[in-house]
Amino acid sequence: MSTSEPEATSNTPDAASPHPEVDAALADLAEGEKTWADLALADRRTLLDKVHDLTVQYAADWVDAAVAIKGLDPKSPLVGEEWMSGPYPLATGTAALSASLAKLEAGTSPLDGATFGTAPGGRTTVKVLPLNIFDKLLLSGFSADVWLQPGIDRATAQRDAGLAQRDPSRTQGIGVVLGAGNITSIAPLDTLYELIAHNRVVALKLNPITDRLLPVLTRVLEPLISIGAVRLLTGGAEVGTYLVHHDLVDHVHMTGSALTHDAIVFGTGEEGARRKAANEPMLGKAISSELGGVSPTIVLPGEWSRADIKFQAEHIATQRLHNGGYNCVAAQAVVVSSEWKQRDEFVAALKDALDTAPDRPAYYPGSDSRVAGATASFPTAARLGENGGRVLVTDLEPGAYAPLLQTEYFAPVLGVIDLPHAGAAFAQRAADLVNEDFIGTLGVNIVAAPQTIREMGAEFDSLLESLQYGTIAVNAWTGVGYLTATATWGAFPGHTLNDVQSGIGVVHNALLIDRPERTVVRGPFRPSPRSILNREMSISPKPPWFVTNRTAATTGRLLTGFAGAPSWTRLPAIFASALRG
């Protein structure tokens, strides 16, 4: 028997390693997994509640860091985006996850008391918004339902809800989360989903763009860091590559582009292409992902007032320009009927909304080159905004718009696609187009007057069923699905590693629903008071996430405070701010 020491490897903390901080973090997590496995549901819920409270406590610091990252004017209403897509969804997400654990702790299902329904194809649905009186008041007229995969009935859904927390002592090793560089709540939300839904301790590597968030996320996640369940890492691609291939890592979750996904799974260059074609992954562990794509907005023709046209133009401009256009689910192509008699008026209003929306820095790397690529593909496109940094592509000949549907520009680029159909034929052709010709399946928006929806009847339900997207928003933006903690967020199921599209798996899903298929969000076609005058059951004014909302920063701050401690006494200030928006 040899008496020499075993050979050290680059995956052990004491080895001569290019990234010893990664080795140390993973060694800590290997020990932390034992601690996590021993924690009862009540103890886990206590940790979530602490993270919830710290999120609200340090929310202003979080927003300040995000404002600095994105170069926003601290006094701009656009700061509201950072409240509502940063600390707010983490506060609501931790609260909803804690409530699910409380039900499991009591021996019931997270879906105990849920409202179930049905959808086309014999599907079962679960109401995930509104869930209480505060939801009904603060998001009046908005709703969301999770459609379960075909064959999952109510009893099965209730039995299986809870996912890995149904057997909390059975942990699943160490998961890596590769954080996103755009929306600041993505990384911590994905971390919580790995920890709770999959029962894995987590190494979270921040995207270098968001390194300024490290101090505040360290404070917010401290309860989980202190027990060894979470470790935060920074660094570039070389750190990420080392991390995901580490022997101690059991699973990887990433948010980003399909190109990055393929580089991780198959490698790069000719050898990577060969591996992908042969479906021979070089990554020796499972990976889940949320990868974006080209998101469409389908506009169903109808009889709209001038106010309707202006509002919906601002709505679609928001779908593109929120966060500067750097969203995985930003609308990139608007599908309209060339036979719609109000088509030209609507496109003119859309152009005006894009042109006059508040300007902001192009903070995301590569934005200018992607805009230049779009204008090279579409030389007649309009350059809009104060600095001409926004692109609107219109009046394309059939077949000329392929680059718009197959290239995720991840920049303020929007196109209008005309289809020569009307009525039900338009709806069907639009569905075929977005299912077959658009890359990605993350989210699709539908804008339609209530009268149009009523007239379509069952054909409208069939339209929803036919759209193979993870989130469908009707008279709302799919971003509302992202902000709804109890909704699911991810691609339509069925993608594979070598044809990943918008990714594999879901996140958020605070009710811990097993085998979801999609989330369908609905909102009011008109804001209050026009909604009330037109007999829509909604008192919501212009939503605070609109890029044209003048009080978004104040409303976002107040909503985050409310998420920290819901109270009737907080509502008047929120309503007053929202109504001034």
DSSP-assigned letters across all residues of 406-450: H----SSEEEEEEES--HHHHHHHHHHHHHHTSS--SEEEEE--H
Q: What is this structure's pTM?
A: 0.96
Structure tokens at 218: 């360290």
Number of residues in the chain: 581
Q: What is the pLDDT along the chain (581 residues), one digit of tens a residue?
A: 222 333 333 444 555 889 999 999 999 999 999 999 999 999 999 999 999 999 999 999 999 999 999 999 999 999 999 999 999 999 999 999 999 999 999 999 999 999 999 999 999 999 999 999 999 999 999 999 999 999 999 999 999 999 999 999 999 999 999 999 999 999 999 999 999 999 999 999 999 999 999 999 999 999 999 999 999 999 999 999 999 999 999 999 999 999 999 999 999 999 999 999 999 999 999 999 999 899 999 999 999 999 999 999 999 999 999 999 999 999 999 999 999 999 999 999 999 999 999 999 999 999 999 999 999 999 999 999 988 999 999 999 888 999 999 999 999 999 999 999 998 899 999 999 999 999 999 999 999 999 999 999 999 999 999 999 999 999 999 999 999 999 999 999 999 999 999 999 999 999 999 999 999 999 999 999 999 999 888 999 999 999 999 999 999 999 999 999 999 999 999 999 999 99
Structure tokens at 18: 């290019």
Return the beta strands (E) in 263-330 as ranges: 286-290, 295-299
| pLDDT score recorded for residue 3 | 29
| pLDDT score recorded for residue 4 | 30
| pLDDT score recorded for residue 122 | 95
Phi, psi dihedral angles at 427 (to 5 degrees)? -60, -45
Sign of dihedral through CA atoms 429, 432, 434, 437? negative
User: What is the bridge-based pairing of β-strands 251-255 and 174-178?
Assistant: parallel
* Beta-carbon contacts of residue 35 (< 8 Å; ≥ 6 apart): 227, 228, 229
Structure tokens at 53: 């409270």
| pLDDT score recorded for residue 7 | 34
| pLDDT score recorded for residue 16 | 81
| pLDDT score recorded for residue 147 | 98
- Residue 191 in contact with residue 161, Cβ under 8 Å? no
Residue 236 per-residue DSSP state = -
CA 481 to chain centre: 7
- Residue 150 in contact with residue 123, Cβ under 8 Å? yes
- Residue 230 in contact with residue 195, Cβ under 8 Å? yes
| pLDDT score recorded for residue 116 | 98
CA 372 to chain centre: 26
| pLDDT score recorded for residue 2 | 29
Instruction: Write the DSSP string, 360-401.
Output: ----STTHHHHHHHHHHH-TTPEEESTTS-EEEE-SPPTTTT
Phi, psi dihedral angles at 81 (to 5 degrees)? -60, -35
Q: Judge if the upstream peptide bond of residue 130 is cis by omega within 30 degrees of 0.
A: yes
Residue 115 per-residue DSSP state = P
- Residue 339 in contact with residue 420, Cβ under 8 Å? yes
- Residue 551 in contact with residue 580, Cβ under 8 Å? yes
Q: Judge if the upstream peptide bond of residue 296 is cis by omega within 30 degrees of 0.
A: no
Residues 471, 521: Cα–Cα separation, whole Å: 7
Indicate the SS3 state at residue 299. Answer: strand
Domain architecture of the chain: domains with CATH? 20-110+166-256 (3.40.605.10), 295-549 (3.40.309.10)
- Residue 510 in contact with residue 111, Cβ under 8 Å? no
